[in-house]
């Protein structure tokens, strides 16, 4: 009798795992963002606000970031992704417009920096993550305030 109960519980846990994985994948696929054929764009939702983001995954993409870009449409951004948590430092070198930086770890905002300034002299501002992060989101300056983004907010990403 004990072995039957143990087997039933094991089968139940397996079924729950399969359906849970299926639900999670379908949730990621549902209704926001756009994924380009090259896989270089994703959708992000924070506080119910949708963004389309360009992905920065390679060292070269991360080093360049938004440097040299004249402007960015509202509700767009750049998402830097990391395979392991770290405390990356971002520089405003080559930036032509101010941005907000959102630091993310495991699907939660762990810090925000509003209005990272464009360099006006030879001094180039640098900003380091306040805690280990696995993603960093750059958006137009003012987006964080307008959308009331704060530490602890959930971040959903559709790859």
pLDDT at 4: 66
| Interatomic CA distance for residues 53 and 157, integer angstroms | 10
- pLDDT one-digit tens code per residue, 57-113: 999 999 999 999 999 999 999 999 999 999 999 999 999 999 999 999 999 999 999
Measured CA to CA in angstroms, residue 73 lies from 121, 123, 135, 140 at distances of 26, 27, 21, 8
Quote the pTM value.
0.75
């Amino acid at each position: 009798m004990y072995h039957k109960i143990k087997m039933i519980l094991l089968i139940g846990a397996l079924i729950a795992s399969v359906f849970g994985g299926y639900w999670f994948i379908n949730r990621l696929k549902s209704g926001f963002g756009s994924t380009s054929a090259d896989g270089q764009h994703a959708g992000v939702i924070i506080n119910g606000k949708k963004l389309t983001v360009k992905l920065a995954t390679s060292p070269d993409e991360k080093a360049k970031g938004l440097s040299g870009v004249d402007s960015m449409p509202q509700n767009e951004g750049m998402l830097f992704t990391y395979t392991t948590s770290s405390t990356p430092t971002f520089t405003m070198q080559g930036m032509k417009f101010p941005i907000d930086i959102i630091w993310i770890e495991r699907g939660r905002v762990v810090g925000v920096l509003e209005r990272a300034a464009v360099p006006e002299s030879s001094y180039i501002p640098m900003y380091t993550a306040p805690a280990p992060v696995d993603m960093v989101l750059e958006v137009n300056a003012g987006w964080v305030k307008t959308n009331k983004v704060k530490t602890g907010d959930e971040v959903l990403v559709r790859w």
